[in-house]
Structure 1
């Protein structure tokens, strides 16, 4: 019975994730990552390498290589991304601490925000949050492997975690070492960059200015989250009284997330109908730029893009 429930929840999580992805328009990160895997060369052409102590790594570690490999098996990039995000959401949903008011509210917000404004970093954040609220319980390794393989923020998260939780320190450092070694082996410097890009194809992450830039880039989101957490703490007693009357907290999280995401999708479709933006709704209305149309088709149904990635990227900007 538990296995049937788990399968049901996983499928429902997958549907919810895709509802969130429906709201994404061409300018969002989702479609940039789709564009990054239209060919093997586009991985390095559109993404600068990360320089750590003179050693170059792909900007998104193994993430684009995973998408590209699955696309060769005729699995569309967005479906692969959906499965990765679903794994993160599913394990967070299973956490027993969602019965606590603060954790419950943060879980709902994380699910909604990470699907609407999806990026590899947001998936890594969802996974790390799940590990943190689990305390010193043994982490589930599948989502942890995903987190450290798709974005450097995932590696930062779990290096910090390893210093505080010594039981899993050795395993985490071995895992991170394997992931970085594989990504370094796969990375190749681009033969040429798109004309509108900088001539610099690598990014020294250890430079102070670059570190400041990355921190300030996320400062707004962090501030909003901290304010939200404060209000949840303030009203925690009222929220707890509401939760006591809810029989299935997991179903409550799913349904709440679903309706919030559906609301965002309606707003997105309205903007697309007005021609303000272009996305999946514009595609079905057959009212979008040819380059964006080809990107939608490749992302969702793996129909190969016939245009050069630099041309698509230029018209996406």
Structure 2
């Protein structure tokens, strides 16, 4: 599979790659794509060392729809649990699989090694630092809803976790986009990722800011986004963290300054904690359309990783994001 690629980080994508994947995801979501099975005869490994509903289902169903056979690995299935080195595991998987989708929750460097040293096409379905396929899903959802990303103002409220990291790295490369992160003190975006995202924003004419307070009240946004306070597979050292996070709950009051904003959430959600039921289940929410778009975006990612043609017929929607 000489034309295969890796997606360990959003930054693995060129501008053209990012555009093509989001455009193709929108096309799948809109039902205007041509359905092919470019992965026929291929074996895709799905390895999730952590819980997942949307991402695992999205990639498993997408691989099947694209014609692949799937091998599923759960958290107790690999010999890394009995002491085999990560390097040996990656070498073996790379010799038997045509593509691997993996959620490890561990440092991204592990997947980077599997891809770089063993020549295996790898899709990062979430590591400790970044959730790149969520970032692509978010851009697909926004492009599908608004028709363009140009000039969109996005407010992210909550922990600066791996979802926030992918969102910042992706939106930083979207001309005219503005991302404001409101994160609790001590729980902001990783400073190195924030620096990289701001570097992209400076080059592309985007804007990324971060504040650790909800004062002054944010206003003028097109999108309000949050994630669960207890990021999957992690724990917080500060026993008092719920009190620190409470002012960052997304509730109806945020719409006073942004009356037309739509609401995003990467799910799962805990109603009454990071978001109220009134918002998540209300007319402003497109969180469940966002969840469905995980599958459409996953199909586009697998097609891109395989090197499959991604052009749709004349008359289908053409999108220029970057």
TM-score w.r.t. the length of structure 1 is: 0.26
Larger Rg: 1
Q: Report the structure, 1 or 2, having the larger helix content.
A: 1
Q: Which has the higher contact order (CA 8 A, sep 6+)?
A: 1
Q: Report the structure, 1 or 2, having the larger strand content.
A: 2
TM-score w.r.t. the length of structure 2 is: 0.26
